[in-house]
Amino acid sequence: MKNNIIILLVFLFLLVSCGSRKEIAYFQDSPNLTTQFQDYIPRIQPNDQLAIVISAADINAVAPFNPVSTIQVNAPQQNISPYHTTYTVNEIGEIEIPTLGNVKISGLTRTEAADLLKIKLSKYINNPGVIINFANFRITVLGEVNKPGSFTNPTERITILDAIGMAGDLTIKGKRDNVTVIRELNGVKESHTIDLTSKNTLNSPVYYLAQNDVIYVEPNSAQVAASKFTPNYSLWISMAGVIISVISVLTK
Question: pTM of this prediction?
Answer: 0.66
Domains and CATH numbers, the chain: 2-15+227-250 (no CATH), 20-40+137-219 (3.10.560.10), 49-134 (3.30.1950.10)
Total count of residues recorded for the chain: 252
Q: Is residue 189 within 8 Å of 183, Cβ to Cβ? A: yes
Judged on CB neighbours under 10 Å (0-12, 13-18, 19+), 119 is: exposed
pLDDT at 156: 81
Predicted confidence at residue 74, as pLDDT, reads 39
Q: Which of 203, 200, 161, 204 is nearest to 29 (CA)?
A: 200
pLDDT of residue 70: 38
**pLDDT mean by block of 10 residues, the chain; 252 residues:** 53 50 61 57 89 89 71 40 75 92 94 96 93 90 96 86 94 93 87 91 90 93 55 58 61 62
Could you tell me which of 199, 229, 225, 210 has the C-alpha nearest to residue 30? 199
